[in-house]
Copies of this chain bind each other. A is one copy, B any other.
Amino acid sequence: MAPSSNGATAPALAVSTVIFTLRTCPTGEMKLALALVKRIRKPFDGLWALPGGPLNITEDLSAAAARNLFETTALQPRYLEQLYAFGNLDRSPGSNVLDRVVSIVYWALVGSDEAAEAIESENVAWFWADELPKLAFDHNLIVEYALWRLRNKLEYSRLAHGFLGERFTLAQLREVYEAVLGRELDPANFRRMVAANGAVVATGERLEGTKHRPPQLYRYDASVELADQGPLATQNPAIQTGEQK
C-alpha cells in the first residue's frame, strides 16, 4: 500500500468494505454485527480494522470489495454498494504523507444464516455494531457513516431483504428493522408501514411447524430494486446482487 518505495508522489488507493449482518445475542435478540480484521503491522498494529487492501490494476472497484468480503468471511454479498471515498490527510496520524492511502469504501449485507457459518479466527471476528472498540485509522467514522446510510436506506428500500430468507413473517421483518435501527417498533404501526410501502407481498402460505394460528409468510416483490441507484443501477451489476446465492 505504500507508494513511497517506488518514488511515486501520488496517494495510494485501497478498497475497504463494511460487512454488516444480523446475529443472535446470547439473550436471543437479533443485533447488527460487522466483520473486522486485526492488524498485524504498523500503523495501528494490533487494532481491529475494516477488511481491505490495494486495488488490483485489472479489477473493478466493486469486484475488489466483493473479494475483500470473500477473503474475510468466505461469503458472497447479498447487497454491495459504494459508500464513500475517505482520503483526508489526517486519517493516519503520525504516518508519513508519502504513505498516504485513499480508501474507497463499500458496504455490504450478508444473510444472517450464512454469517452464522462464516469464518472466525484470532484475526477475523464479528463485533456488535454498538459495541465497537477504538478501530485503526478513521474506521470508527467510516462505520458510523455506513450505519447512517444503512438506517436511512432501510426505510425507503427493500434492503431488509438482504438479511432475510426468501419468505419471512412480519415478526421476522420487524426484528430486522429493530436490530438495524436499534430500537423497538410498535407491531401495529410496523404492519401499517409495510402495507403502505407496497414492496412486501403476502405469499398465502403460513409458517410450518407452529401448531396454533401459524403466522403468514411474506416475500418481497422482486421487481422492486433492493435500493434505488438511479443511473448507476444498470451500469454496475455488482452493485445489487439482488436475490440470494
Contacts and interface: CB of A to CB of B under 8 A. Distances in A.
Interface of A: 3, 6-13, 54-55, 57-61, 82, 84-85, 87-89, 97-98, 100, 102, 104, 141, 144-145, 148-149, 152, 230-232, 235-236
- Closest CB pairs A-B (n = 4): A148-B230, A61-B87, A144-B231, A85-B104
15 contacts: A3-B8, A3-B10, A6-B8, A9-B57, A10-B55, A11-B13, A13-B13, A55-B102, A57-B97, A58-B97, A59-B89, A60-B88, A61-B87, A85-B85, A149-B230
Contacts of A230: 145, 148-149, 152
A87 B104 contact: yes
A102 B104 contact: yes
A58 B141 contact: no
A98 to B, nearest CB: 7
A7 B10 contact: no
Contacts of A85: 61, 82, 85, 104
A169 to B, nearest CB: 31
A61 B88 contact: yes
A84 B149 contact: no
Given A145-B231, A231-B145, A84 B87 contact: no
B148 A10 contact: no
Contacts of A9: 57
Given A13-B102, A104-B87, A148 B231 contact: yes
Contacts of A102: 13, 55, 61, 104
A84 B13 CA distance: 15
A97 B60 CA distance: 12
Contacts of A8: 3, 6, 8
Given A84-B82, A88-B236, A57 B145 contact: no
Nearest to A58: B97
Nearest to A138: B235
Contacts of A141: 231-232, 235
Given A141-B231, A145-B232, 6 more contacts: A10-B57, A11-B13, A11-B57, A141-B232, A145-B231, A149-B230
A21 B10 CA distance: 31
